[in-house]
């Protein structure tokens, strides 16, 4: 809450979920992944979803970019109900980083990072990719022509982060982006992420098992 003499201004809510329910049918019966979950994430805020495997963290995260459709409840991004928004257009304006990176294996690093600005027909896709690569520590062009198979796990996650940031999204969703890495690499990328947020205070939801 921002306060001034005689004035109280509430922070803008970028992400909101109200009474979200999601159930899955398995061989052993119905499993409730989300049971009436509600959450607000203010603009520029970073919220971590922490919990054991199977507790519904990733399910909630993917409701925000319509990779998962809840059975009940409402989900809003920038005060727009995502159920009324074209799913493809929504995903192109919301950054998303998954645990294994999800890079196109047959594309170079540079082309991977340029993907979303190119899909959005951005006139400055190349410069946007250059800026994003610099944010993750790959600004000298050394990795541009490499392919994902030629990168370490930590390097692939840096590229995945750059790809998510290249289109300057207002919202960034991260699903265990550091979970499959060794402790030293994980700490290095966590520091990189903190540095990025200082330079670009994008609204974030982070699924993690680590408290850092």
With 0.75 as the threshold, say if the pTM is over it.
yes
CB 172 within 8 A of CB 207: no
Is the per-residue pLDDT at 108 higher than 60? yes
Q: How confident is the model at residue 189 (pLDDT cuts 50, 70, 90)?
A: confident
Higher-confidence position of 28 and 161:
161
Query: In this model, does residue 9 exceed pLDDT 60?
Result: no
Question: What does the pLDDT read at residue 8?
Answer: 55
Residue 11 has pLDDT above 80, yes or no: no
CA angle 102, 107, 182 (to 5 degrees): 40
């Amino acid at each position: 809450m921002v306060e001034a003499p005689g004035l109280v201004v509430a922070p803008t809510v970028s992400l909101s979920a109200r009474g979200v329910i999601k159930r899955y049918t398995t061989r052993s019966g119905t499993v409730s992944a989300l049971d009436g979950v509600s959450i607000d994430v203010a603009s520029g805020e970073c919220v971590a979803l922490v919990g054991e495997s199977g507790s519904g963290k990733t399910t909630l995260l993917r409701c925000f970019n319509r990779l998962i459709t809840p059975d009940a409840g409402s989900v809003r991004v920038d005060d727009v109900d995502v159920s009324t928004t074209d799913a493809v257009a929504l995903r192109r304006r919301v950054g998303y980083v998954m645990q294994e990176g999800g890079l196109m294996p047959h594309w170079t690093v540079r082309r991977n990072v340029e993907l979303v600005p190119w899909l959005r027909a951005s006139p400055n896709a190349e410069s946007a990719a250059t800026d994003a690569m610099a944010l993750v520590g790959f600004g000298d062009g050394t990795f541009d022509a490499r392919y994902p198979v030629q990168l370490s796990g930590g390097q692939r996650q840096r590229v995945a982060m750059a790809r998510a940031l290249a289109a300057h999204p207002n919202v960034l969703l991260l699903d265990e982006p550091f979970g499959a890495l060794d402790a030293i690499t994980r700490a290095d990328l966590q520091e990189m992420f903190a540095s990025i947020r200082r330079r670009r205070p994008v609204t974030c939801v982070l699924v993690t098992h680590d408290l850092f």
